[in-house]
């Protein structure tokens, strides 16, 4: 032990005398720290988190590959190691001393950078500092071990420089230490999973941004630990005291051996893409950490209040403060200013009734149609249009839950997704007609994903419980019995009551699809949370609306689908010609839908819809009566039905409401604050108030004077990130 301590002390003294060691351990990282802090505005948002991570990685790489690798070669060539050879000492103390000294030299810099970031730039002190220091320690030791293997196999100082650079440069440029991985295409993100430095970046950022523990990064930590032991063992076996000692050229293959843990880990990640997903989420959180100050804007708060001229401070993905009047100087709050004079800021719009898997029209070739890809694209189209949250009320369960996980975690950019799960309906009820023409085995699989067909009250309760365990956001039941050419079996009242009771017991909101007054009456009596569609066939009595007010039941009239059915039956494709629809709708889908509308293949569908008792005027009148009776109104479009393409759905629904006589402020409140309350999400979306997510739509003009202004989109913020709308459809 004495020899180890003596060598550590001696090695530390020698290291501190060498300018190259001091440069690569201290000056080199600090230069990057200053440059990054100035270039990336380190005093704003999460920038300093990224800067600290990048500088630590650069320092770890320099400390290990240059500090250990090149220095060991230098000592061998200058005959320093030859002097140890004549003493009773083995290579082990020398290697251990070099490893420990590397840690001693570098850890003060890590602590110093955190202090500067905290006291100089206002970065919060990490809650997981212990995990950060342990993880950084593993990184230092692992790269010291790699550096010493490079030193062992290098025949000369010149060759060591080449070997070090071959390892150093890919780590430096591809791990996220210098270039943000958000710039990388999907295939390159996979390549980066074979580099140890990539896991250091994602691990440190995860610990700082997401408060992850060392255990949450267990696989990379274990791989680094194995690298330490394997690297030291190989370095011991290949150790050379003098430069004259020969080594076979094949010895360089041992560099691959020390990288084996990360080759295995990279292959696993190429298969599961778990760390790729984590990297995307971390990049998303970094983007959402920026600080902005929107100034001089008209602000529609969401609950009906309008601030004629105000400012909004966005920090860390949240609305930090709302000001009436001019607001602070951007420099005092360290924010990027956004001038919004003549514009209106609204909470992100919400559509509470969509079917993401349905395209809304006809593709030329459905053989390449992918439900999951369709959903991701549709959610991106909503964000493009300023619709920042949607509720799926009928999509394949497994797929929609996977999509929800991806978008709500930040792995993919798309509107926040809530899902009602499969449709509770009867055998032969509305919702089952879509699968009648399928082969039995495929039909059974599709129905299992789309529907629940309980035959008893007990079975209904069990199915609600199962969906609760699947973590759906709400339950949807169908009472619609249809009419005209489309008649369906109606759900048994006792089964429906069981569904309603169990939904309430499980604290799951209940959305009920209705078609006539009888359906609405049963839904209201059961205490539904929302009435979907109401009735397009007959007038709903005022007494029933009064009961909805008393029970705080929301009304979702979905006028868009009434209009779309009418236009589709008539062969009118004007709904596809709206500017925002043209921007977000796939060209193939729009062009082929317009073409197919006049074809003989579609004619039977149009004739069937024409015979369905679906009257837009009746639905509009019911909306007006609901408003006059004080019912809480919410906006849903039933997107996915013919001619209702996903994206700017709420804007058109609002236009229909205002055209019918609903005041613009009431309509906008339905599309923001009321909709968020229905979703049980008003604690973070639906209104512009401090503490809420910064989901904001900035439009040109005043939608209270001209509701069409909600389609004149200037900027969309989503959870504090100013979106590049043009890039939303290029995600991989």
Q: 355 and 253 in one domain?
A: no
382 and 262 within one domain: no
Q: CA-to-CA distance for 724 and 635, rounded, in angstroms?
A: 26
Least confident stretch, 37-46, 388-397, 459-468, 720-729: 37-46
Q: Which two tokens stand for residue 706?
A: 């001209």
Residue 732 lies inside a defined structural domain of this protein: no
Confidence at 445, pLDDT banded by 50, 70, 90: confident
Indicate whether 244 and 364 sit together in one domain. no
- The count of structural domains within the chain is 2
The reply to whether 406 and 533 lie within a common domain is yes
* pTM of the predicted model as reported, rounded to 2 decimal places: 0.88
| pLDDT for res 114 | 92
CATH of the domain at 457: 3.20.20.140
Same domain membership, residue 518 and residue 422: yes
Question: Does residue 418 share a domain with residue 274?
Answer: no
User: pLDDT value at position 21?
Assistant: 65
For 596, the enclosing helix (H) or strand (E) is: helix 587-596
- For residue 227, give its domain range: 2-286
Q: CA-based diameter of the chain, in Å?
A: 104
* Residues written for the chain: 732
Residue 586 lies in a domain: yes
| Residue 78 pLDDT class (50, 70, 90 cuts) | confident
Contact by Cβ (8 Å): 641, 609: no
488-519 confidence digits (pLDDT tens): 899 999 999 999 999 999 999 999 999 999 99
Residue pair 340/296 in contact by the 8 Å Cβ criterion? yes
Q: How do residues 316-340 score in pLDDT, each as one tens digit?
A: 999 999 999 989 999 999 999 999 9
Instruction: Decide if 146 is inside a domain.
Output: yes
- pLDDT of 542-560, one tens digit each? 999 999 999 999 999 999 9
Chain segment 139-174, per-residue pLDDT in tens: 999 998 888 888 887 778 888 888 888 888 999 999
Instruction: Give the closest residue to 209 by CA, choosing from 410, 352, 29.
Output: 410
User: End of a domain among 286, 314, 338?
Assistant: 286
Q: Which helix (H) or strand (E) holds 347?
A: strand 343-347
The answer to the question of residue 338 being in a domain is no
Kindly state whether residues 158 and 272 are assigned to the same domain.
yes
Residue 343 belongs to some domain of the structure:
no
Q: Are residues 281 and 419 in the same domain?
A: no
Q: Are residues 452 and 530 in the same domain?
A: yes
Indicate whether 398 and 528 sit together in one domain.
Answer: yes
Q: Which of 286, 303, 324 is the last residue of a domain?
A: 286
Q: Is 383 left (phi over 0), alpha (psi -120 to 50) or beta?
A: alpha
On average, the pLDDT of the chain sits at 90
- Of 286, 308, 339, which residue constitutes the final position of a domain? 286
Report which DSSP code applies to 125. Answer: P
Give the confidence band of 393 by pLDDT, cuts at 50, 70, 90.
very high
| 76 pLDDT above the threshold of 80 | no
Judged by DSSP in three states, 483 sits in strand
Q: What is the DSSP string of 251-296?
A: GGGHHHHHTHHHHHHHHHHHHH-HHHHHHHHHHHHHHTT-EEEEEE
Which has the minimum average pLDDT: 63-72, 393-402, 467-476, 624-633?
A: 63-72
Asked whether residue 251 carries a pLDDT value surpassing 90, the answer given is no
Give SS3 for 130. helix
Do residue 229 and residue 357 come from a single domain?
no
711 pLDDT higher than 90: yes
Measured between alpha carbons, how far is 526 from 523 in angstroms, rounded to an integer?
Answer: 5
Q: Evaluate whether residue 353 is within a structural domain.
A: yes
Say how many CA atoms lie within 13 Å of 499 toward its Cβ. Answer: 34
Decide if 595 is inside a domain. Answer: yes
292 domain residue, yes or no:
no
Q: How confident is the model at residue 680 (pLDDT cuts 50, 70, 90)?
A: very high
Residues 578 and 497 in one domain: yes
Question: Which positions ≥6 away from 63 have C-beta within 8 Å?
Answer: 24, 25, 102, 105, 106, 140, 143, 144
Confidence of residue 597 (pLDDT cuts 50, 70, 90): confident
């Amino acid at each position: 032990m004495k020899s180890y301590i003596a060598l550590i002390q001696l090695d530390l003294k020698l290291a501190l005398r060498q300018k190259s060691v001091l440069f690569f351990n201290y000056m080199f990282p600090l230069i990057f720290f200053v440059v990054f802090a100035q270039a990336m505005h380190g005093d704003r948002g999460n920038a300093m988190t990224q800067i600290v991570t990048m500088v630590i990685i650069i320092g770890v790489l320099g400390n290990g590959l240059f500090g250990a690798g090149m220095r060991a070669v230098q000592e061998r060539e200058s005959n320093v190691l030859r002097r140890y050879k004549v003493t009773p000492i083995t290579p082990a103390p020398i290697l251990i001393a070099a490893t420990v000294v590397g840690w001693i030299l570098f850890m003060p810099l890590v602590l110093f950078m955190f202090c500067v970031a905290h006291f100089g730039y206002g970065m919060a002190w990490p809650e997981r500092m212990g995990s950060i220091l342990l993880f950084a320690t593993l990184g230092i030791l692992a790269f010291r071990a790699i550096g010493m293997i490079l030193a062992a196999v290098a025949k000369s100082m010149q060759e060591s420089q080449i070997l070090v650079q071959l390892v150093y440069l890919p780590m430096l440029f591809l791990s996220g230490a210098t270039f943000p991985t958000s710039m990388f295409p999907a295939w390159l993100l996979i390549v980066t999973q074979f580099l140890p430095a990539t896991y250091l970046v994602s691990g440190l950022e995860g610990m700082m941004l997401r408060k992850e523990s060392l255990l949450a990064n267990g696989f990379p930590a274990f791989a680094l630990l194995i690298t330490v032991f394997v690297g030291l063992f190989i370095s011991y076996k290949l150790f050379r005291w003098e430069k004259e000692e020969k080594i076979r050229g094949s010895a360089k293959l041992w560099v691959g051996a020390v990288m084996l843990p990360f080759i295995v880990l990279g292959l696993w990640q190429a298969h599961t893409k778990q760390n790729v997903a984590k990297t995307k989420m971390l990049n998303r959180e970094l983007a959402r950490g920026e600080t902005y100050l929107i100034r001089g804007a008209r602000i529609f708060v969401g609950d009906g209040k309008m601030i004629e001229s105000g400012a909004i401070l966005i920090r860390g993905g949240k609305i930090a403060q709302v000001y009436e009047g001019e607001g602070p100087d951007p420099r005092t709050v360290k924010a990027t200013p956004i001038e919004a004079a003549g514009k209106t800021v609204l909470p992100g719009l919400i559509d509470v009734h969509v079917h993401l898997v349905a395209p809304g029209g006809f593709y030329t070739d459905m053989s390449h149609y992918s439900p999951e890809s369709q959903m991701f694209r549709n959610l991106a189209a909503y964000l493009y249009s300023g619709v920042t949250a949607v509720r799926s009320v009928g999509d394949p369960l497994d797929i929609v839950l996977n999509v929800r996980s991806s978008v709500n975690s930040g792995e993919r950019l798309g509107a926040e997704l809530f899902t009602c799960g499969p449709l509770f309906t009867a055998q032969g009820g509305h919702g089952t007609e879509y699968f009648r023409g399928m082969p039995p085995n495929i039909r059974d699989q599709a129905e299992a994903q789309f529907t629940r067909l309980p035959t008893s009250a007990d079975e209904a309760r069990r199915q609600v419980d199962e969906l609760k365990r699947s973590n759906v956001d709400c339950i949807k039941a169908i009472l619609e019995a249809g009419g005209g050419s489309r008649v369906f079996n109606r759900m048994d009242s006792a089964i429906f009551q069981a569904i309603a009771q169990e939904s309430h017991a499980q604290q799951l909101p209940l959305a009920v699809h209705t078609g006539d007054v009888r359906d609405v009456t049963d839904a209201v009596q059961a205490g539904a949370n929302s009435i979907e569609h109401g009735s397009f066939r007959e007038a709903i009595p005022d007494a029933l609306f009064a009961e909805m007010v008393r029970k705080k039941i929301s009304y979702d009239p979905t006028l868009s689908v009434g209009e779309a059915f009418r236009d589709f039956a008539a062969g009118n494709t004007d709904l596809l010609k709206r500017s925002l629809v043209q921007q977000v709708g796939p060209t193939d889908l729009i062009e082929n839908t317009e073409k197919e509308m006049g074809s003989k293949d579609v004619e039977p569908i149009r004739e069937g819809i024409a015979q369905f008792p679906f009257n837009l005027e009746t639905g509009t009148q019911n909306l007006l009566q609901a408003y006059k009776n004080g019912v809480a109104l919410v906006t849903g479009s039933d997107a996915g039905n013919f001619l209702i393409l996903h994206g700017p759905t709420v804007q058109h629904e609002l236009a229909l409401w205002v055209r019918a006589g609903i005041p613009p402020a009431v309509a906008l409140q339905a599309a923001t604050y009321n909709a968020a309350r229905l979703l049980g999400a008003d604690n973070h979306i639906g209104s512009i108030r401090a503490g809420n997510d910064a989901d904001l739509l900035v439009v040109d003009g005043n939608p209270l004077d001209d509701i069409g202004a909600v389609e004149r989109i200037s900027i969309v913020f989503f959870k504090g990130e100013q979106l590049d709308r043009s890039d939303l459809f290029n995600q991989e």
